[in-house]
């Protein structure tokens, strides 16, 4: 693995975000994370920020604080996300607003503020979070899949806009990983979904970490604008 660096991770209160934060801290990285509520992760090299990722002012303050505390930013993992699983005809507009605010607006604001910090050092790695729900066109996930399609599109265009600043922007598309996000989905639905993958098993947090490690590697400086879906989707 590369030398210790500074990283920002969104959605670190639980699930994959917490796992990623713990992993990078164990490796000696420093940085900040955020969630809407207080975080349990107490580590001397970690600062937690309680914020809504779609709150532009709060995101700017967090990233400036990370810059002051850690002297810059090398990597961003835009993990924070919410899902909505419901038939489209039963989905209120307010749900769509909430999902897009977190998944699309939040991802964009963090990319923008992170790229500003990274651009000053001519180096940066941004990893956004997509989902297999988009290429699998999962029924019941119209809003969630559409929001993550927007994330893929943002990833592809941003990759071109910040390439000459030495910043890469990629996305990882996890299959279902047993976390709260998929907890409410009936078992038979999950089985049917997993049957559509080339490799028929649940994803693990280590699978997600593996792709992040690839994108974050200094050797991946010629890899940008890509989305890697897990499980052979």
Q: Which are the catalytic amino acids?
A: 144
**What is the SS3 string spanning the chain?**
CCCCCEEEEECCCCHHHHHHHHHHHHCCCEEEEEECCCCCCCCCCEEEEECCCCCHHHHHHHHHHHHHHHCCCCEEEECCCCCCCCCHHHCCHHHHHHHHHHHHHHHHHHHHHHHHHHHHHCCEEEEEECCCHHHHCCCCCHHHHHHHHHHHHHHHHHHHHHHHHCEEEEEEECCCCCCHHHHCCCHHHHHHHHHCCCCCCCCCHHHHHHHHHHHHCHHHCCCCCCEEEHHHC
Choices 62-70, 87-95, 152-160, 178-186; region in contact with another protein by CB under 8 A? 62-70
Q: Which of 3, 26, 44, 57 binds another protein (CB under 8 A)?
A: 57
Tell me the per-residue interface mask from 96 to 135 with another protein, x by CB under 8 A, - otherwise.
--------------------xx-xx-x-------------
Minimal distance in Å, beta carbon 59 to another protein? Answer: 10
Q: Which of 5, 13, 48, 67 binds another protein (CB under 8 A)?
A: 67
Tell me the per-residue interface mask from 15 to 54 with another protein, x by CB under 8 A, - otherwise.
----------------------------------------
Minimal distance in Å, beta carbon 60 to another protein? Answer: 5
Chain residues binding another protein by CB under 8 A are 56-57, 60-61, 64, 67-68, 116-117, 119-120, 122, 164-165
């Amino acid at each position: 693995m590369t030398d210790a660096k500074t990283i920002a991770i969104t959605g670190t209160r639980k699930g994959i975000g917490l796992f990623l934060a713990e992993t990078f801290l164990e490796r000696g990285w420093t940085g900040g994370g955020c969630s809407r509520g207080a975080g349990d992760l107490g580590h001397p090299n970690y600062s937690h920020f309680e914020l809504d990722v779609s709150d532009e002012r709060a995101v700017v303050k967090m990233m400036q604080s990370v810059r002051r505390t850690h002297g810059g930013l090398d990597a961003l993992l835009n993990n924070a996300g919410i899902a909505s699983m419901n038939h489209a005809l039963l989905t209120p507009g307010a749900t769509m607003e909430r999902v897009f605010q977190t998944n699309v607006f939040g991802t964009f604001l963090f990319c923008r503020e992170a790229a500003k910090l990274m651009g000053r050092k001519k180096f940066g790695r941004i990893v956004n979070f997509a989902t297999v729900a988009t290429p699998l066109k999962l029924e019941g996930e119209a809003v969630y899949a559409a929001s993550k399609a927007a994330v893929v599109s943002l990833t592809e265009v941003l990759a071109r806009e910040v390439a000459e600043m030495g910043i890469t922007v990629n996305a990882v598309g996890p299959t279902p990983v047993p976390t709260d996000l998929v907890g409410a989905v009936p078992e038979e639905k999950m089985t049917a979904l997993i049957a559509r993958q080339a490799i028929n098993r649940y994803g693990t947090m280590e699978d997600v970490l593996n792709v992040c490690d690839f994108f974050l590697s200094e050797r991946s400086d010629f890899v940008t604008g890509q989305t890697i879906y897990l499980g052979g989707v």
